[in-house]
Chains A and B, each alone.
Chain A
């Protein structure tokens, strides 16, 4: 059902041979789209593409699918699960009208929640391409996506953090030291989540038990996750391991996910298995997904689509399985896909907006690698913008330095900065715990305790005398 799109500007006629090309060329510039050979050839062509896109009815995306229905289970998911009732208030709109509508006073938090299941990833991606950064922030701020397991994440005025205590050899004392540091800086309400250095079932189970013991001993209203392959976590569940959340990296095409070694049925099986453990206390959201622009291209599975549209399609996968957390790891992929601080910032805001619009509990790993043209100042900017936009959660890591994954993300200090300047709080259950444990002198004024809280002072007395490894 592919059709040609064209327009005339002055003397010149611009042609876009199909919807995928039109969307790619309407996308703000980034290295990944250049690498894929789908980027606009000039600044003028980009704006012309945006103008053509603005005139398209939203219904176009239901009829002219970007990847054929027969070839891709994510296209099938998007089309089969589309809620025509929820779409009714939007169905007469063009993409350009849709931007106006989203910004208008008609689109309140309640209305945006009601239309969510009527919006497809392609509609979200298309409208985002016409939006300025402030538009992406303003509309995302109006969307609220709340989830729960042992605490409630995504409430207005809250900013949660994933405590990420990674260690290059999964050393237990090293991991425990980073967990302690994070907790004492008020981090960890979204999840305590470890990327294992050795990615196998036995190691994952070992790390799951480690975190479970800490959560139980200190009665922390949070959840743990080992970021290993979904099939490893399924095996761990079979072995009786204490699994709170199931992790998986996901992409927006079936071929991307196959290259990651799973399909939608694997995720369904995983969600059911984790829910069967009944480990949540205030909710049943048991999945933790990570995404990021460029993953489909990197797996040579992008079908000629631009990377931002592929990314938005990943959120259709996410929302199918009721995740607690979805994290766009925006700068991790490197300068091959997002070259510098400006491209990373734009992508982070697009991902957060598209995710929230589609009803996904979006957080962001505000990050960069050492081969990207980016630095701490770029991260300060994106963190502040996302805090304003109502982002559900960010990462928390000692001093911004992930010594296992070799990249920089937001620190425990950074999260406290954002909470202070923007008046944001941790998840309510966790905030009470921070006060009860005397980690803060005064939670309401963000004053940390200058002294070591009693419960943790006791633990420090059990430290081994000598480091086990020559650290």
Chain B
């Protein structure tokens, strides 16, 4: 095949307008079969920003003030720290990120000295994106509070906690020390190129140190351009209610929250939204 001198060096994709329907990097075009320069540099910039996000630290004072204000808390959230002293240690020692520092343990033991039991402990953890926690925690917690208040049964909440340099499993230690039946961890997920601000939600029934992933249920990607806080809160309430009823969580507790949003005809005939199969 002879190259026609009139054909362009960069071939645009005629389906580029599909970009309006997704954040995925589709319709990039090509130089030969390779990325055009402009698209290459846009990617490099996004990667540079995501790497920077990993190393940004949580502004605890600001978060505390915002949560206290938004949720009308009578006491400030309890501030805790994992065994990982800094980000460099955190990145290489996930075991340190799963356990509380000694002072934090003592602090929680004092807070729980009365022996009172709670239905739920909510733990806010920086994880791999402090940005996600900073931007989405208050919105999600306000929505969750609303759901819990509207629910027919009573939900006694343990004192709210904020953990720095923490991983998901640290919530189990916090929940156990606070005598909570269930724990909900809100944690910054690994930043993606298009989503440096994604919050993950992990729920465990009967939290205890050393529990594995099969005991947790997860709702992911809570952020403005992803799953909105109200919908995330609605799904979390369903999980919590089912966990409380069955007294378990994890693999044995399947998330059935989507079942009721599927329309009957859609199940039978497939999806009218799928333009690839429209007639």
Interface residues of A (CB under 8 A from B): 31, 34-35, 165, 167-169, 171-174, 176-181, 184, 197-203, 205-206, 209-210, 213-214, 217-218, 229, 231-232, 258-261, 298-300, 334-336, 339, 369-371, 375-376, 397-408, 411, 413, 416-417, 420, 441-442, 445-448, 450-452, 456-457, 459-460, 462-464, 467-468, 470-471
Besides A202-B262, A463-B17, 8 more A-B contacts (Cβ < 8 Å) are A35-B94, A168-B198, A172-B274, A176-B273, A181-B13, A334-B91, A336-B91, A370-B54
Given contacts A169-B227, A181-B26, contact A370 B193 (CB under 8 A): yes
A456 / chain B contacts, CB cutoff of 8 Å: 15
Q: How far is the CA of A299 from the CA of B15 in the complex (A)?
A: 43
Asked if B22 contacts A205 (CB within 8 A), the reply is: no
B38 interface residue (CB < 8 Å to A): no
Residue of A nearest to B189 (CB): A406
Which of A165, A205, A336 counts the most B-chain CB atoms under 10 A from its CB? Answer: A336
Q: 9 tightest A-B contacts by CB?
A: A399-B25, A406-B192, A261-B251, A462-B278, A174-B22, A416-B33, A181-B26, A370-B50, A172-B273
Chain B residues with CB under 8 Å of A398's CB are 24-26, 28
Let me know if B221 is at the binding interface, CB within 8 A: yes
- For B198, the closest partner residue in chain A by CB is A406
CB of B54 within 8 A of CB of A371, answer: yes
Closest B residue by C-beta to A258: B214
Q: How far is the CA of A397 from the CA of B51 in the complex (A)?
A: 20
Contacts of A371 in B (CB 8 A): 51, 54, 91, 128, 190-191
Chain B 17-47, CB-CB to A under 8 Å as 1, else 0, gives 1111111111110100111000100011011
Chain B 190-213 interface mask (CB, 8 Å, partner A; 1/0): 111111001000000000001011
In the complex, the answer to whether A471 meets B91 with C-beta atoms within 8 Å is no
Are B192 and A464 in contact, with the CB atoms below 8 A?
no
- Say yes or no: A400-B43 contact (C-beta < 8 A), given A370-B190, A460-B15: yes
Inter-subunit contact B262/A446 (CB<8 Å): no
CA of A205 to CA of B218 in the docked complex: distance in angstroms? 19
B254–A200 CB distance below 8 A? yes
Task: Please indicate the chain B residues that have their CB under 8 angstroms from the CB of A206 in the complex.
Answer: 262, 266-267, 271
* Cβ-defined contact, A168 with B226, below 8 A: yes
B124 to chain A, nearest CB (A): 20
CB pair A167–B24 under 8 Å, yes or no, is yes
Interface residues of B in 82-116 (CB under 8 A from A): 91-95
B193 in complex: contacting residue of A197, A209, A334, A401, CB < 8 Å: A401
Shortest Cβ distance from residue B127 to the other chain A in the assembled complex, whole angstroms: 10
Instruction: Report the count of interface residues on B (CB-CB < 8 A).
Output: 75
Q: Does B259 contact A (CB under 8 A)?
A: yes
Residue of B7, B21, B250, B258 with highest tally of chain A CB at under 10 A: B21
Which of B26, B27, B221, B275 counts the most A-chain CB atoms under 10 A from its CB?
B26
- Distance in angstroms between the alpha carbons of A168 and B258 in the assembled complex: 15
Residues in A with CB closer than 8 Å to B13 are 181, 184
Select from chain B the residue with minimum beta-carbon distance to A336. B94
Given A210-B271, A459-B275, A467-B21, decide whether A198 and B190 contact each other with a Cβ distance below 8 A.
no
20 pairs of residues in contact across A and B, judged by CB atoms under 8 Å: A35-B95, A167-B22, A168-B221, A172-B273, A184-B13, A197-B226, A198-B219, A214-B277, A232-B254, A300-B210, A335-B92, A336-B94, A370-B50, A371-B128, A399-B25, A403-B23, A411-B35, A413-B35, A441-B1, A468-B21
Residues of chain B contacted by A300 (CB below 8 angstroms): 210, 212
Query: Of B17, B39, B192, B198, which one neighbours A407 at CB under 8 angstroms?
Result: B192
Residue numbers in A under 8 Å from B39 (CB-CB): 399
In angstroms, Cα B48 to Cα A375, docked, is 10
